[in-house]
Amino acid sequence: MSMQHPKMALAAVILGAAATAATAIVAAPATAAEYPAKPVTLIVPYKAGGSTETMAQILSKAIAKNLGQKVVVKTKPGAGGAIGSTLVAKAKPDGYTLLFAAATTITWEPLSKKGLAYTADSFAYVAGVTDYQMAFVTTPDRPYKNFAELIAYAKKNPGMNVADQGGISRAFINYIGKKEGLDWTAIPTRGGGEMVPFMFGGKVDFAWSGGVHNKYGDKFIVLASCLADRLASAPKAPSVQELYGISMPGTALIAAPKGTPADAIAKVQAAIEKSMDDPDFTAILARLKFPKTFVPSAKLTENIAGMTTSLKKVLAAIQ
């Protein structure tokens, strides 16, 4: 066996070390790029202090623990949620900008308003976490205790007043009125905070509620769920899907810009699923009386498509 010259041996060692260092340098970016390598921003397209922003603040802390990275909540209100939603739709699809919003903002707004810079197809859907408890409600002192009795009473007593909150609630009220041959007078209210005293004060005969009625227990009667399914808190009341084949998109969801890598979507989805039983998130849902409803990415994507079809049906009928 021949012996290697000492200088040649030293050169080999140097070259070997250099090659190892080069390999490490090349490998470093791949490790640094492992998602998530930096804080994630969760955009809420509504004002701070509402139920959505409150849920986001609490859930984000649990997601951060399970994702292994900070999740920073930022509110970007305006235009019915369109400003914040547009920001996310146009963000770099790298998993670091996410949206926490009501499905209505993603589906209804671009269908009913011209000129928005996004549609439901502008997003990759990560997961749903709960359902806003949208319903038609009234108070126990009225002569109708369910939706069938309301319709029968309305046909004998024309000119009934219904409290709405504009947009989607007005569209559904008009759709049902048209189907039943009724001409209800819609009374606009600025959210649930104004609807409640209108109902209790006798200014309206029934109302659309986004869920605020849950805070008042048996002081309200749920006539019909506006979701695809019946409300957990009012299982005897039918849904408008059962009655008319339409429904409102009630899911509170997390979405990302379209084109976000599948592995990033999968990691965030897994973190959300692990966070669903977080004690603080469980407590806030109990306080809001919202159900804990985890919907995985694939199913949520399918649901959004169905919601969009339902909303187009409503719009076509009332235009």
- The CATH number of the domain holding residue 225 is 3.40.190.10
What kind and span of H or E run contains 287?
Answer: helix 279-288
| Number of domains composing the chain | 2
Structural domain containing residue 200: 135-244
Tokens, residue 110: 């671009």
Instruction: Work out whether the CA dihedral 115, 76, 256, 96 comes out positive or negative.
Output: positive
Instruction: For the chain, 319 residues long, give each residue's pLDDT as a single digit of tens.
Output: 444 444 444 344 334 444 444 444 344 333 345 999 999 999 999 988 888 999 999 999 999 999 999 999 999 998 889 999 999 999 999 999 999 999 999 999 999 998 999 999 999 999 999 999 999 999 999 999 999 999 999 999 998 999 998 789 999 999 999 999 998 999 998 778 889 999 999 999 999 998 888 889 899 999 999 998 999 889 999 999 999 999 999 999 999 999 999 999 999 999 999 999 999 999 999 988 899 999 999 999 999 999 999 899 999 998 7
224 and 260 share one domain: no
Task: Specify the CATH number for the domain of residue 298.
Answer: 3.40.190.150
* Kind of pairing between the strands at 161-164 and 185-188: parallel
**21 assigned to some structural domain:** no
Task: Identify the domain boundary among 214, 244, 274.
Answer: 244
Task: Identify the domain boundary among 198, 229, 244.
Answer: 244
Task: Identify the domain boundary among 244, 277, 293.
Answer: 244
Residue 239's beta-bridge partner residues? 225
216 and 84 share one domain: no
Is the pTM higher than 0.85? no
Tokens, residue 107: 């589906």
149 and 237 share one domain: yes
**299 assigned to some structural domain:** yes
The rounded distance, in Å, linking the Cα atoms of 261 and 95 is: 7
**2 assigned to some structural domain:** no
